[in-house]
């Protein structure tokens, strides 16, 4: 096996941290939230609609690939650093390899997937260095997904609760939220590695629901990865997929209610309009 090359990377970026980001959000007692959905639920049994969550009370967001198109930056960092340590015989990994084997997974899992013969301390050091490189690049290149500002305003105007739920390490998540100007937008942030189980298990989304005190019957999720969609569906919520990097067909087969290209997609706004109409009808008949 090739020896690990220690890369000394540094960043001058110091994000502004919202006080809520310092709270340890994940707790062991999440049994009060029902686990009513199965990731194996067939696409034919789901409706391409969000009206089932009326009245809507909360929207939960993944971060990487959902709020921002960060995967190209992660891919660049992994490609450069894996090549440095002689991974894949020293040949650069392909984007296809990155999508299939790395994207959406949390770092503790990647330690075993990428470096099964390394000791854990060594693998973790590699992942820490990679994340440092990602933060340096992201501070210069990161941009939000088209239409995010419009969606955030729609959410704020309706007083909905919102949470960021991610498998990213906390320093990455805090930096991205700060760079995107969303520090004051999110009520809470849940980090997968701080839960008993990260995505694709439902624990991070169940913890977010518990913390904002909303039932899964009145919330939905935005996600871009297979593991994230599995987690949201297993937590009992509809999931809107973002097909920035993963094929739409794959996201639908995984369990997404429907898939959009970005937050300006007419499918999303039609679904939100239908959701509001159902809520209004429920209020009239109540």
C-alpha–C-alpha distance, residues 90 and 263, integer Å: 39
Contact between 241 and 224 under an 8 Å Cβ cutoff? The reply is: yes
How many CA atoms within 13 Å lie on the side-chain side of 16? 7
Closest residue by Cα to residue 75 from 143, 133, 2: 133
Roughly how many angstroms between the first and final C-alpha of the chain, as a whole number?
67
CA atoms of 181 and 156, how far apart (whole Å) = 14
Tell me, yes or no, if 262 is annotated catalytic: no
Cβ atoms within 10 A of the Cβ of 111, count? Answer: 20
φ, ψ of residue 205 to 5 degrees: the values are -70, -35
Query: Coil, strand, or helix at residue 187?
Result: coil
Active-site hit among 29, 64, 119, 274:
64
**One of 29, 62, 157, 196 is an active-site residue; which one?**
62
Active site residue 64: yes
Active site residues per annotation:
62, 64
């Amino acid at each position: 096996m090739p020896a690990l090359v220690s890369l000394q990377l540094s960043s001058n970026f110091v994000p502004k941290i919202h006080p809520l980001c310092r709270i340890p959000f994940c707790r062991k007692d999440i049994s009060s939230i029902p686990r009513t959905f199965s990731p194996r639920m067939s696409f034919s049994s789901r409706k391409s609609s969000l009206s089932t969550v009326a009245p809507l009370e909360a929207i939960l967001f993944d971060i990487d690939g959902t709020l921002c198109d960060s995967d190209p930056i992660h891919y660049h960092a992994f490609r450069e650093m894996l090549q440095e340590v002689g991974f894949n015989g020293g040949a650069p990994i392909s984007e296809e390899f990155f999508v299939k084997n790395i994207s959406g997974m949390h770092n503790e899992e990647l330690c075993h997937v990428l470096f099964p013969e390394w000791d854990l301390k060594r693998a973790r050091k590699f992942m820490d260095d990679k994340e440092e490189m990602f933060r340096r690049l992201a501070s210069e290149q990161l941009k939000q997904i088209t239409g995010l500002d419009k969606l955030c305003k729609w959410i704020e105007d309706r007083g909905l609760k919102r949470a960021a739920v991610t498998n990213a390490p906390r320093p990455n998540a805090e930096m991205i939220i700060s760079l995107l100007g969303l520090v004051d937008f999110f009520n809470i942030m849940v980090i997968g590695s701080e839960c008993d189980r990260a995505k694709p298990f439902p624990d991070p989304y169940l913890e977010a629901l518990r913390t904002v005190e909303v039932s899964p019957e009145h919330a939905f999720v935005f996600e871009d990865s297979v593991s994230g969609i599995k987690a949201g569906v297993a937590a009992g919520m509809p999931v809107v997929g973002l097909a920035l990097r993963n094929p739409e067909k794959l996201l639908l087969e995984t369990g997404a209610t429907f898939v959009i290209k970005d937050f300006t997609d007419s499918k999303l706004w039609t679904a939100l309009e239908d959701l509001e109409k159902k809520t209004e009808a429920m209020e009239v008949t109540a």
